[in-house]
Homo-oligomer: A and B are copies of this chain.
């Protein structure tokens, strides 16, 4: 087993100094053609590669991005990561993943673990518990220590940094308008409690679309699901709650759901009740994932372009990282980039 070779070892073998080896490998003209060749040949033979950790220490940057997301088994988030990873890799960065599991404390611990030199900056989406507690001190402290953060999807005003978001209001408005123009008269929404920002915003879009069409939003047509029901373990409870919702709204003919799971579950309930889709009931979801594509009928959704969000987030972060180097000036010009949503029409609407 040949251990990784270092400059020092090469120097010793070739009986030259460490700095000579270093320079030779970097093609410095200071070094004679002769020794340069010799060193390079030797280095190649032993497959020398500079040690990243030593470089990180010296350069005071790790060329690594920390990504913290609430959940990885999720089409949206894994797509975002795919986008981040692609851009990061192309620009010479690695990606460290941390999962918060929607928990405040795991989010904090993960950030602390990474903030101590392991990474150059964060890309993250806030956990539900954090949103609920509205405690954002760990983000602001991190930023204050000079570590840039890019928030995506779940962002809040209280944190002053770059953000990549979807225009949730506009996206859901478009969806609901589609239902209206398709002839739906009783459009319901299945959404989250208001402290989940994306849920709140999408509910806003729903109401705005109705009001624009002079339709008075009815409270009974708005179903706000509790967080706990959002997990895999409570699929049945979710189903029951939605079934109840159907029972309370006999004349419902259109549903806008703020995520895939709610939409797919609504479809399942409707099918059980023998409601024909899209004839008697049209459904639109938010977030374009595998479920939507492969559902029966396939689901019309608002696509958030998750991968593009990841790409933009990575570009934004790396831009800032590499800007800070040249201009030591604090360019406090934080950007908020809005990714346009797109309505992908499938079989669940007419």
Contacts and interface: CB of A to CB of B under 8 A. Distances in A.
B94 A95 contact: no
A117 interface: yes
A116 B81 CA distance: 23
Contact of A116 (B50, B97, B98): B50
Interface in A48-77: 49-54, 56-57, 62, 64, 72-75
Given A51-B117, A53-B117, A96-B96, A72 B62 contact: no
B73 A85 contact: no
Interface in A20-61: 47, 49-54, 56-57
Given A3-B145, A52-B117, 4 more contacts: A1-B146, A4-B117, A53-B118, A291-B294
A85 to B, nearest CB: 5
Number of copies: 2
Given A75-B73, A96-B95, A97-B81, A3 B53 contact: no
A229 to B, nearest CB: 16
Contact of A145 (B4, B95, B116, B145): B4
25 contacts: A1-B144, A1-B145, A1-B330, A2-B144, A3-B145, A4-B116, A49-B115, A50-B116, A53-B62, A53-B117, A54-B117, A73-B75, A73-B78, A78-B78, A82-B99, A89-B99, A89-B110, A89-B113, A94-B118, A95-B96, A95-B98, A97-B97, A264-B294, A268-B296, A271-B296
Nearest to A77: B78
A145 B56 contact: no
Contacts of A73: 75, 78-79, 82
Interface of A: 1-4, 47, 49-54, 56-57, 62, 64, 72-75, 78-79, 81-82, 85-86, 89, 94-99, 110, 112-118, 141, 144-146, 264, 268, 271, 290-291, 294-296, 330
Contact of A146 (B4, B74, B94, B99): B4
A75 B73 CA distance: 6
A78 to B, nearest CB: 5
Contact of A52 (B4, B98, B118): B118
A147 to B, nearest CB: 8
Contacts of A62: 53
Contact of A53 (B57, B144, B146): B57
A3 B78 contact: no
